[in-house]
Amino acid sequence: MLLRSLCTLNDGAKNSLEEIQDLMERRNRETAVKIEPVPFSRLDNWIMDGDGNLKHSSGKFFSVEGIEVETNYGALHHWTQPIIKQPEIGYLGIIAKNFNGVLHFLMQMKIEPGNINHVQVSPTLQATKSNFRQVHRGRKPFYLNYFENADPGEIIVDQLQSEHGSRFLRKRNRNIVIMVDGDVEVYEDFCWMTAGQIKSLMRHDNKVNMPARSVFSLLNFGRPAQPFDDTRALSGFGKALLLSARTNHSVYSMDNILSWLTGLKARCDLAVRPCPVNKMPEWRVTENEIVHKDYKFFKILGINVSIANREVTSWRQPVIKPVQNYVCAFIIKEIHGVPHFLVQAKLECGNYDALELAPAVQCLVDSGGLPDGHVPFLDYVRAARTDRILYDTLQSEEGGRFYHDQNRYMLIMADENFPLELPEGYTWISLNQVYTFLRFNNFVNVQARSLVAALPYL
């Protein structure tokens, strides 16, 4: 059913792509949204303590705190920064249901305060523990009971996955997809979509939000023994992806890759210590923002939010607003007839286990002031010919904590001269191996998961 869902865009779908896009546009027109900056002193229910940390008066939701980082990995060995501390594990959940042999996913047209274009396709349920425990005094999120009471036999995937390790301190969410048989009430702003339709929307800028991309990345379209195996709708590259997802033939075995990653982790030192925000030498605290002295990376500011169709319709909160944007790119090379993905073991200060598998290139567009040529393969991505670019869109990051944060996501097909030999910290893995790592926690970072979700099969 999963592969059939991937190949279904209109015929056999409950809603056509045009109807889905019309619904998104209509909700954008009809839903009143107002976001405006406010000084930290006007953030109701938020307190800036003597160290410059921002915390909610309930002790729930999240806080913005300062950290000092020391490591022996990579080019930068010491820095300070603000970071979001949110120890709660929330739900990112999608309900799936079979309609006439085609698997559909119940998706929400959700507005987050940080979304660039307001409405984006999101999971059925996207809620922090504070949300579904109603700390905000709003109503419980729709469909929460489906996930709290899910039978093991209904679960398709269920993993704790990390969020942005450079912005969140050890933040994880439960990414879960459940299959239901009975009738499901479809509330306003929700819509059944096929896998093919969701992937089609990912080819456009800022249509599918980061939580949905994260959950969707866990669905293995190469899973064997599917009742539907008609691949005529797939493109030539899509058929090659299916081969890479199914084959056990890869340039390095899983044992080799695990040993490579374990060796890097064993040699990597990472110390993350609390540091008062107002004592961080590189950062400045004003009444309106926390910002880097050279105006780089990102800043923290307060916003007043009014969104008509939320559980709570108005509130105030701090957000991270980027000052620089990222490019995130996989380089793909056919090795012995099988597409392989160039990945790096990337350190981010908020990671649970220091290093996670990341796209070959994941860096600030202007490299953050580091020397030219410092970032391996960045020049190759920048110089890629149009016929080598398989995917190139702007995608929003987490809209509940980040404000107007969009990054460039790319898939580049390497030419025949691209080297097999790689620098330390980089390796080749097949799509089958990517999906194997995705079955476990804290191996594949959220940027890589976004690109896996967007892989163009059609």
Asked if 44 and 58 touch (Cβ cutoff 8 Å), the reply is no
Nearest to 106 by CA among 235, 202, 3, 15: 15
Taking phi over 0 as left and psi of -120 to 50 as alpha, with beta for the rest, 442 belongs to left
- What would the two tokens of residue 323 be? 């000052």
pTM for this entry? 0.96
Which residue, chain included where needed, has tokens 């330390």? 424
pLDDT the model gives residue 129:
80
- CATH fourth-level superfamily of 245-270+325-453: EvaA sugar 2,3-dehydratase subunit (3.90.79.40)
pLDDT the model gives residue 231:
81
DSSP state of 275: -
Using one digit for the tens of pLDDT, what is the confidence trace for 209-255?
Answer: 999 999 999 999 988 656 666 788 999 999 999 999 999 999 999 99
- What would the two tokens of residue 318 be? 């701090």
pLDDT the model gives residue 369:
45
CA torsion sign for 357, 359, 360, 365 is: negative
DSSP secondary structure string for all residues of 151-165: -GGGEEEEEEEE--T
* C-alpha span between 185 and 224 (Å, rounded): 32
* C-alpha span between 205 and 116 (Å, rounded): 10
Asked if 130 and 46 touch (Cβ cutoff 8 Å), the reply is no
* C-alpha span between 89 and 330 (Å, rounded): 29
pLDDT the model gives residue 137:
58
Domain boundaries, the chain: 245-270+325-453
pLDDT the model gives residue 365:
82
Residues in the chain predicted with pLDDT less than 70, given as ranges, are 132-138, 224-229, 367-373
Give the number of residues written for the chain: 458
Which residue, chain included where needed, has tokens 């995608």? 395
pLDDT the model gives residue 368:
47
